[in-house]
Structure 1
């Protein structure tokens, strides 16, 4: 069987779940074009005119709060969904996230006071992070090992579709003569994607790994058999082997560790290593300046001397390129590997940030067209490396490194660190660029340079292994090998029966990788 093929059921589930990814991407990115709309400033009594010093300072503080409050809500949402989807399942958690997100989007669109707008941003941040935490877990738990990077990578790629949609909707709304339409219509579209998610969620199967962990083996087997159905293999050999691996590994983990809470992520050595590595990866992904550029791309381009229309168009093009980069990242991730991809991407970002800082320092706001064009080119070069190597990888890696019984809590922790890491940068970015200018970029040269070294030293590679086999990378016991079988040319695997009996034996060829079609 081909090592790169997967079932249409796997792909359909991944793409359906990615409506949640679009929801998060749109929720986060729409504020970038909103703060580029003069009518939004006027409605809430703010200004982008630096000559009005006191009001300008206040406006920058409000903008920092609008950015930061989304991340603050996201921290709590990530931790909440880690508990929720372990307790009630992946599907119910997805429905709760969609409902909360609809409420937050509607409140933003209808805001009549800046305080109401800020509160609504907190709600959408809370629910958006539920999606960004849950979707990669969900996809990882239904994806075959050989193409897990590609399928989980669609999460990162599709929330860039959300970014791209937000950017172009913002551009289109800018030209409307209706002052309220300029900024309220783009915000209103936040409710569309979670509504679509609610329409699809009834069709989605529950995670078979979650079902096994809650004693519902019959349901888990039915789902695995459908997901890995191969008409050329009536015995469903791969599905049986995966089912055996999942049931044996979960039984081993539960007997070894028992019930696991958030505190166990820090108090048990094997979990603590994963927890710290996950935190490092998420921190590193934000400490290279990507979140600041994403959020301020319109104003950064404007600061290089371009007018409002040019700035909106260039920023939309920039985000579109990021979207293409994320799909490319997902496509090559199972070949390139997780760790190597992150190292290449972050190193490339540092190189382009160095040049960008030099351009802004010497030519920012000048009339030197060649220099200004170079400044924009550096921003585009930055996103080629970030989108092409990092942005998708971090979600794949975070969803892989934790065993099933703590995966949701572990991923929730990782994403809470992700959003916590954004807070100091988002809160300080508007003021930082306004006060120290190009020197603010030095943060995103020094920090990622250090992080690349740390990732090389401490992050193990996970590509090609099943989720259960990744336990071995962290020195935990692996109950059964599936993708890397050692020993004789053939092996006999005992498939436990659903009723707890010893089941049947499956004799198979000892291939380096067992794949699914």
Structure 2
């Protein structure tokens, strides 16, 4: 089996900066709306008769950001298929820089709303492209770890953004307090642009375009094994890729093919559902409106921003644990465990809000502490078991010919559910309080049996061999091959290589 090299990990870390960019860019606005300067600058009020107007404006800004993210996700799939994963990443990074700069420079609400659409498009494209590249560049043995970098870096973006917002809260310049966190979102995509100089194009994409020599060069660099001087494992992996992609190219591709082909449609339903379910926990609502939730629990001053920073730090540490363990525990175990922990946390949190926020004991210290514990338990379970695993699963179950568009559909589902839950979040928390969280309790309870009965385990297999799970043919089996079968494969590889050499020699003559 091919080995995961330090070079492969280094490339993954660079590409995962796109996930950090998304997390930082998304969460920056969550910290900005916790700054008093934001409301003063745009003449908004979160208290009194004008509070409903302010909440509506926040909902509109959020909705149109995710609308832009949907556009970015859906366009990133076809763009990556046509022009390559690397160029798509570069283009999305440029759009994120421009969008972030214009958002930070917004001079009125109308401008803020429009440019957040642009920023959302760039960030939505990055959220789609990163797991595609990481899955395609990884080995079967460590695919969970490498693709899990997406979730870890994404939540790390939340974390850094939270602490940047916390620091900006103490600025004497109230305008910088809300502009600063957004302005800093331009730095990660700039670093990604520079880092992409050292990122090779996806070998699988190159093979799909018939660029075999380039594909082998990139794969041998990514999965070079110093203990295997003949590069037998890399040759076997490359041979399997090549034969499977040749087989897949006889099949239809595109968005319509995904919807009309039964085995592709099954993949789409699973990958879209896991994103739907992840949002159904209310994770992004809790994340995005944490400052408001902590304020409602009775915390004032810098405490809501401090608790938000702790919340995101716990989530990042959970994601770190996830990428280190998901290849051993498997995707099914991680998802079911994570949703179970989230369900317990949501029930506890809903009860505490119902009693100590909307009830008569709004300053009960014990209730506040239990509510905080429930929130922190939620993000730990979500980060350790759901965040990375959901993105890994969404990216790995598709064949190469539809992976970009399939992941785009899954990411689009994620963003649509963000619009569904996050957009009314401020108004819902203000008006119906704990009853809004009952939606997430029900959705999470439904998710657990669906994963148990319908989601196959994917750990340990190559991307090509996962076709077996969905009734599609596999050109070459390596994971389960016997010694005799593997020897036969190695002989075929040598014969094919010899034939290529003879053909090349004939052309030279």
Structure 2 match to 1:267: 260
TM-score by length of 2: 0.95
Q: Deviation string for 1:403-448 (max 9, x for gaps)? A: 0011001000110011111111111111111111111110011011
Task: Give the equivalent residue in structure 2 for 1:200.
Answer: 195
Match of residue 33, structure 2, among 35, 53, 64: 35
1:428 counterpart = 2:441: no
CA contact (8 A) 1:156 1:395 kept: yes
Is the 2:282–2:440 Cα contact (8 Å) retained in structure 1? yes
Would the alpha carbon gap of residues 209 and 500 (structure 1) be closer, same or farther in structure 2, given more than 3 Å must change?
farther
Q: Given the alignment of the two structures, is residue 70 of structure 1 paired with residue 68 of structure 2, yes or no?
A: no
Q: State the shift of 1:486 in Å.
A: 4.4
Structure 2 Cα separation of the partners of residues 14 and 201 of structure 1: 11
Q: CA deviation at 1:222?
A: 0.8
Residue correspondence of structure 1 range 410-421 to structure 2 within 5 A: 410-421=406-417
CA distance in 1, matches of 2:445, 2:163: 33
Of residues 466, 474, 480, the one that matches 1:478 is 474
Deviations 1:141-178 (A, max 9, x none): 11110011011101110111111110000000000101
Matched residue, 1:336: 329
SS of 1:283's equivalent in the other structure is helix
The answer on 1:160 being equivalent to 2:158 is: no
Does the 8 Å contact 2:478/2:486 carry over to 1?
A: no
Residue by residue, what CA displacement relative to the aligned partner does 1:486-505 show, whole Å, maximum 9, x if unpaired? 4758532112778894789x
1:169-209 per-position Cα deviation (integer Å, ceiling 9, x unaligned): 00000001012111111111111011111101121100000
Query: Do the aligned partners of residues 104 and 492 (structure 1) sit closer, same or farther apart at CA in structure 2, a change above 3 Å counting?
Result: same
Question: 1:23 corresponds to which residue?
Answer: 21
Q: Distance in 2 between matches of 1:117 and 1:500?
A: 61
Q: Does 1:8 align with 2:33?
A: no
Structure 2 Cα separation of the partners of residues 265 and 496 of structure 1: 36
Provide the rounded CA distance (Å) in 2 between the counterparts of 1:432 and 1:446: 17
Aligned equivalent of 2:449, options 443, 446, 453: 453
Distance in 2 separating the partners of 1:201 and 1:500? 35
Any idea what the Cα deviations from partners look like across 1:24-75, whole Å, max 9, x if unmatched? 00011111111100110111111111xx22x111101111112222211111
Question: Is the 1:497–1:503 contact (alpha carbons within 8 Å) kept by the matching residues of 2?
Answer: no
Query: In the alignment, which of 248, 252, 262 is matched to residue 253 of structure 1?
Result: 248
Q: Report the counterpart of residue 512 of structure 1 in structure 2.
A: none
C-alpha contact (below 8 Å) 2:144/2:392 kept by paired residues: yes
Q: How does 1:480-495 map to 2 (within 5 A)?
A: 480-486=476-482, 488=484, 491-493=487-489, 494-495=492-493
More helix by share: 2
- Mapped to 2, the partners of 1:167 and 1:410 lie a distance apart of 31
Distance (whole Å) between structure 2 residues aligned to residue 226 and residue 387 of structure 1: 32
Report what 2:506 is aligned to. none
Q: Does residue 1:212 correspond to 2:210, yes or no? A: no
**1:231 match:** 226
> RMSD across aligned C-alpha pairs, in angstroms?
1.7
Alignment of 1:384-399 (within 5 A): 384-399=380-395
Residue 458 of structure 1 and its aligned partner are, at CA, apart by 1.4
Q: State the alpha-carbon separation in 1 of the partners of residues 432 and 222 from structure 2.
A: 54
Q: Secondary structure at the match of 1:478?
A: coil
Match runs of 1:107-256 below 5 Å: 107-255=102-250
Partner of 1:439: 435
Aligned counterparts of 2:83 and 2:380: Cα–Cα separation in 1 = 39
CA distance in 2 between partners of 1:67 and 1:57 (Å): 15
**1:218–1:498: 8 Å Cα contact kept in structure 2?**
no
Structure 1 distance, partners of 2:12, 2:495, is 29
Question: Do the aligned partners of 1:228 and 1:236 also contact (CA within 8 Å) in 2?
Answer: no
Partner residue in 2 for 1:91: 86
Give the match's secondary structure for 1:141. Answer: helix
Distance 1:84 1:98 in 2: 14
- Counterpart position of 2:402: 406
What is the alpha-carbon distance in structure 1 between the residues aligned to residue 319 and residue 202 of structure 2? 25
What secondary structure sits across from 2:463 in the alignment? coil
What's 1:325 paired with? 318
Deviation readout 1:84-122 (Å, 9 max, x if unpaired): 000000111011001111110011110001111111211
Aligned counterpart, 1:366: 362
In structure 2, distance between residues paired with 1:157 and 1:243: 29
Picking from 99, 106, 111, the partner of 2:101 is 106
**Cα 1:491–1:38 shift into 2, 3 Å:** same
Instruction: Write out per-residue CA displacement over residues 473-497 of structure 1, whole angstroms, 9 at most, x where no aligned residue.
Output: 1110000012221475853211277
Is the Cα contact below 8 Å between 2:46 and 2:52 reproduced in 1? no
What's the CA shift for 1:264? 0.8
Structure 1 residue ranges without an equivalent (≥5): 505-517
Aligned equivalent of 1:315: 308
SS, match of residue 390 in structure 1? helix
TM-score (norm 1): 0.94
- For residues 198 and 192 of structure 2, the distance between their equivalents in structure 1, rounded to whole angstroms, comes to 10
SS in 1 for 2:185: helix
Contact 2:151 2:387 in 1 (8 A): yes
CA distance in 2, matches of 1:217, 1:188: 42
Q: Is the partner of 1:388 in helix, strand or coil?
A: helix
Q: Are 1:495 and 1:502, in contact at CA under 8 Å, matched by a contact in 2?
A: no
